[in-house]
Amino acid sequence: MARTQNLMKIIDRYLATTILHSIGVVLFAATGLEFFILMVAELRDIGQNTYGVAQALLFVLLNLPEQLYQIFPMAGLIGMLMGLGVLANHSELIVLRQAGLSFLAITWRTFKTLICLVALLALMGELLAPKATFYANQYKNDHIHVNNNQDNCSDDVWIKDQQNYLHIGQIDQQQLLHHISWYAFDDQQQLKQFSTAESGQYRNGTWQVTHVHGTLIDRKQVTTFHTAAATWPFNLKPEILRNSVQKPSSLSLRELNASLRFHQKANTTNEPLQLAFWKRIFQPLASLVMMLLAIPFIFGPLRSVSQSLRLVAGIATGFGFYYCNQLLSPVVLLLQLPAFLGASLPCLSFGLLGLFMLMHQKR
């Protein structure tokens, strides 16, 4: 019994080593390709103020974790096909089957390795990648606009808070607001106050604005006023404001959830934000599904073909998943369907395909 357990442990380690090595090689190649593409995209900005080659290099390196996290389902599938393909070419899978390991037993031992890898990638995608992307964008803006503190990181931001509508003309790198307009409505959706301010800053839990001009409107009269400084009662924290001007795909799950809760309190909907939230939820599952999809491929139609053909099959399947995932997003938003469907359908479709192939191999 102990000898059998030791043998199973050796087999588990060998399978894990082979799979992780192949996936690592594919990820290394994908990293090099992404690095080249991002560097080419930065060529047009090199030379602006103090933004040079060294700064562009650091910017690209900080963006790589997020890029790799997004393409990992495809890279994982190709790596699995290559790793299991090596075992198939050397007849090692046949030896394992002859040693008494069933198809499902090999799948389970592979699954244990993949679940650990996906968990590690999920931690990177939620903890490291969003912060690295945020600091990369901030670092680039600081060097391109080094002599202009007022240069904005975002223009024309509209935010709804309860019955209030806030328009921000510019947001600079220090989270200072410029050219602010505030529209306050009553319960009957009648405009009761309109105010403008030159600038605003978040201090001690409130927004302090300067050079305020306002108009109070009621049924009897219209009153105008002017003050040098005032406090505006917006329940808007700086991190929510920062998240609202970033691409939803670059936000972590925690940041997306905080933004969605703010929109829920404000009785507003943000479909792109909801779609990005559900995509973050399904990203680890998508990676796991795509890698497990390689197992029935190897035991089935790709058992005796060359590695180059397996590579082509993996790339074709991976791109099929990628484009399915990308095309469904605008379709779901256009048809006003639940954002959950846009994020879950590609994963569920390829998951059902893999399950069908697994059951077919079991027979």
Q: Do both 11 and 86 map to the same domain?
A: yes
In the chain, how long is the greatest CA-to-CA distance?
93
Map 215-264 to HEC letters. Answer: EEECCCCEEEEEEEEEEECCCCCHHHHHHHCCCHHHCCHHHHHHHHHHHH
pLDDT at 353: 80
Per the domain annotation, does 154 fall within a domain?
no
pLDDT tens-digit readout, 177-225: 888 888 888 877 788 888 888 888 888 778 888 888 888 888 778 888 8
Per the domain annotation, does 278 fall within a domain?
yes
Counting the structural domains of the chain, the total is: 2
Which domain covers residue 328, as residue numbers?
Answer: 2-145+271-362
Residues in CB range of 324: below 8 A, 6 or more apart: 345, 346, 349, 350
pLDDT at 2: 64
Q: Which stretches does DSSP call E strand in 289-357?
A: none
Q: Of 349, 251, 293, which is closest to residue 73 (Cα–Cα)?
A: 293
pLDDT at 154: 59
Per the domain annotation, does 292 fall within a domain?
yes
Question: 237 versus 37: which is more confidently predicted?
Answer: 37
Question: 110 versus 244: which is more confidently predicted?
Answer: 110
What is the model's pTM?
0.74
pLDDT at 57: 93
Residue 150 has pLDDT above 60, yes or no: no
> What is the CATH number for 223?
2.60.450.10
Residue 256 has pLDDT above 80, yes or no: yes
Q: Do both 27 and 115 map to the same domain?
A: yes
Q: Do both 82 and 197 map to the same domain?
A: no
Per the domain annotation, does 153 fall within a domain?
no
Q: Do both 131 and 279 map to the same domain?
A: yes
Per the domain annotation, does 246 fall within a domain?
no
Q: Do both 277 and 140 map to the same domain?
A: yes
Q: Do both 105 and 217 map to the same domain?
A: no
Q: Do both 55 and 117 map to the same domain?
A: yes
Residue 144 has pLDDT above 90, yes or no: no
Query: Sorting pLDDT into bands at 50, 70 and 90, what band is 60?
Result: very high
Query: Sorting pLDDT into bands at 50, 70 and 90, what band is 143?
Result: confident
Q: Do both 205 and 279 map to the same domain?
A: no
Structure tokens at 325: 């995932």
Per the domain annotation, does 9 fall within a domain?
yes
pLDDT at 40: 92
Q: Do both 19 and 127 map to the same domain?
A: yes
Residue 152 has pLDDT above 50, yes or no: no
Q: Which stretches does DSSP call E strand in the chain?
A: 152-161, 164-172, 177-185, 191-203, 206-217, 222-232
What sign does the dihedral 151-157-160-163 (CA atoms) show?
positive
Domain edge (last residue) among 234, 260, 293: 234
Per the domain annotation, does 118 fall within a domain?
yes
Q: Do both 229 and 133 map to the same domain?
A: no
Distance CA 270, CA 307 (A): 45
Domain edge (last residue) among 234, 259, 285: 234
Residue 363 has pLDDT above 60, yes or no: no
Domain edge (last residue) among 234, 250, 284: 234
